[in-house]
Structure 1
Amino acid sequence: MRDHKLAVYTFNQFVAPYQSDKISGFRVAEPEILVTIENAAGFIARAGYDGEEDPSYWGEQVFPDCWTNGNGDGWAPSTLSLWASVEALMAATYQGRHGKVLRHGKDWHVPADHIPEYVLWWVADGSTPNWAVAVDRFEDLMTNGPSLRAFTFKNAFDPNGRPYEPDVAIVKDLAKQNAQKA
């Protein structure tokens, strides 16, 4: 997997406008969570947002067709980032500060069993996906289910298209490394 990086796109919809009191817990936690993620073992880079000085801008941010803009604020929580491995992403996602905040997602996000919360895929070294590519992969997963082109932790693939079972021992070791940095 050395000649590939793992891309991840996350997407959800808020139960209320971003600036509302109902979303304040997310808003307050977001800056610290971004720093925690960026300092995690195996993190490579993340897409910035229009108007954000750093990190780099990976194209115009777009949302999947399932996005309804039900809050009318033109915004939905989404991220696009690159990782060294499935295990590194799992450790950063489900452990530590991000893992604790993630458990509050049900308070902030619209329940939608038919819409995935994220999609994974491999990109060759030297390549950086943009938001449009990420949304395309997300919609592919939503429509067709997991494949090498668009998969999840539960149904992962290696860069050669073989089913891949993440190594739990590596996830735990990386989570410990992340906790020591925090």
Structure 2
Amino acid sequence: MSEHWLALYTFAQFRTRADDPVNDEFFSSEPVIWAAMERADGFIARAGYEDEPGTDIWGEQAFPKYWTDNGDGWAPSTISLWQDLESALAAVYKGAHAEIMRLGHLFQSDIADYPPYVLWWVPKDHQPDWDEAVERLELLGDDGPTADAFTFKAAFAPNGKPVTVDTDRSRAIAEHNRLRADLPKSVQ
């Protein structure tokens, strides 16, 4: 059993201000996506937002140097903790989250000269904050994948050694999540 959790930080930017109606589908999907993620195998915890009751905030929200403020002071970003690489991969690329990713071209900026996410290991007694997450994303953007900031395609184990994500296990986890959620396969 590992003494670490996998931290996952995601970052994107809207094409327009967050309050533009073009982003309505993103915002209306958010509760469903978070509910599915929180039920997923391997999910530990996630950072909340100031206007979201019932979740811890994990520090003041910060954005990476890649962020361009489009006048609303906001960008879609998340921090979550997972038991392992396979569980996080299953939750991100299958189910409700994968569906909204497929629609991302409708509301996300095409300009992506930065990594859309970063992974890193944290001790189980450590909760990363927004500043730490931003630092890791920028490290990945500046230096490429290292044991301190990596991706699913270029992953590292908690001991710092390169590792390959077990995609068969990840698919099995995704299928279990789908069956548990009792969602139609078209949503998966």
TM-score, length-normalised on structure 2?
Answer: 0.93
Question: Which residue does the alignment assign to 1:165?
Answer: 164
CA offsets 1:97-139 (integer angstroms, 9 cap, x no match): 2111211112211123421100000001111100000000011
CA offsets 1:37-58 (integer angstroms, 9 cap, x no match): 1111000000011132221120
Question: Which residue does the alignment assign to 1:37?
Answer: 37
Q: Secondary structure at the match of 2:68?
A: coil
Q: Report the Cα distance in structure 2 between the residues aligned to 1:97 and 1:133, rounded to whole angstroms.
A: 27
Q: Report the Cα distance in structure 2 between the residues aligned to 1:169 and 1:9, rounded to whole angstroms.
A: 23
Q: Partner letter of residue 69 of structure 1?
A: D
Question: Which residue does the alignment assign to 1:177?
Answer: 176
Contact 1:12 1:76 in 2 (8 A): yes
Structure 1 residues 92 and 116: alpha-carbon distance in aligned structure 2, compared to 1, 3 A threshold: same
Q: Partner letter of residue 149 of structure 1?
A: D
Q: Report the Cα distance in structure 1 between the residues aligned to 2:38 and 2:116, rounded to whole angstroms.
A: 20
More displaced, 85-94 or 15-24?
A: 15-24
Q: Partner letter of residue 108 of structure 1?
A: F
Q: Are 2:47 and 1:47 aligned?
A: yes
Question: Which residue does the alignment assign to 1:61?
Answer: 61
Q: Partner letter of residue 146 of structure 1?
A: P
Q: Report the Cα distance in structure 1 between the residues aligned to 2:112 and 2:48, rounded to whole angstroms.
A: 28
Q: Report the Cα distance in structure 2 between the residues aligned to 1:65 and 1:99, rounded to whole angstroms.
A: 26
Q: Partner letter of residue 28 of structure 1?
A: S
Question: Which residue does the alignment assign to 1:152?
Answer: 151
Aligned length: 181
Q: Partner letter of residue 159 of structure 1?
A: P
> What's the RMSD between the two structures over aligned residues?
1.1
Contact 1:156 1:164 in 2 (8 A): yes
CA offsets 1:56-84 (integer angstroms, 9 cap, x no match): 120000001111112x0111000001000
Unaligned runs of 5+ in 1: none
| Percent of aligned pairs sharing the same letter | 45
Q: Are 2:107 and 1:108 aligned?
A: yes
Q: Partner letter of residue 64 of structure 2?
A: P
TM-score, length-normalised on structure 1?
Answer: 0.96
Q: Report the Cα distance in structure 2 between the residues aligned to 1:67 and 1:99, rounded to whole angstroms.
A: 23
Moved >3 Å (runs of 4+): none
